[in-house]
Structure 1
Amino acid sequence: MSHALPKNLRTIVSSPLPGKVLNILAQEGEYVQEGQSVFIIESMKMIHELQVRKPGKLQEVRVKIGDVVVANNQLATIE
């Protein structure tokens, strides 16, 4: 039996801009706090830390270090 939240109660973590994933600062299944940086993206020779907007459990991490992402690319979800 699954205890996953319905999709409408999950928060999607997405990349606001295109770039390359340089680091992932939290592991899938880890609880993260609001404002915590979870991904580092390099875009246009600048480093951007992507922070979560809501606390919860990091799930469905869809990228790995070195992946190239486009703007609005889903990186993970927060439950």
Structure 2
Amino acid sequence: MTVVKANMAGTVWKIVVSEGEQVQEGQDVVILESMKMEIPIASEAAGVVKKIFVQEGDFINVDDDILEIE
């Protein structure tokens, strides 16, 4: 199991995967908006998205859990 965490604080602008979806290592899973910039967050492992912990519009901090991949 891998938990993708935020590497910076920002607002969840777009979630680009859904629960049950197969993802590849390095694939963008969420796009954050911070300081008027869009910052993609990539999966750290290949697998299936089991749980998404955030919603679009949520503000998240560094090291907050974004989603779980199994």
Instruction: Quickly name the TM-score band, shorter chain normalised.
Output: over 0.9
What's the CA shift string for 1:13-46, capped at 9, x where partnerless?
A: 0110110000000001111011110100011221
- Quote the residue 1:20 is aligned against: 11
With structure 2 as the length reference, what TM-score do the two structures score? 0.94
| Count of aligned residue pairs for this structure pair | 70
Matching of residue 53 in structure 1 with residue 30 in structure 2: no
Q: CA deviation at 1:59?
A: 1.5
Matching of residue 72 in structure 1 with residue 63 in structure 2: yes
Q: CA deviation at 1:51?
A: 0.6
Q: For residue 77 of structure 1, what is the amino acid of its counterpart?
A: E
Structure 1 residue ranges without an equivalent (≥5): 1-9
SS of equivalent residue, structure 2 residue 7: coil
Q: For residue 36 of structure 2, what is the amino acid of its counterpart?
A: K
With structure 1 as the length reference, what TM-score do the two structures score? 0.84
* % identity of equivalent residues: 37
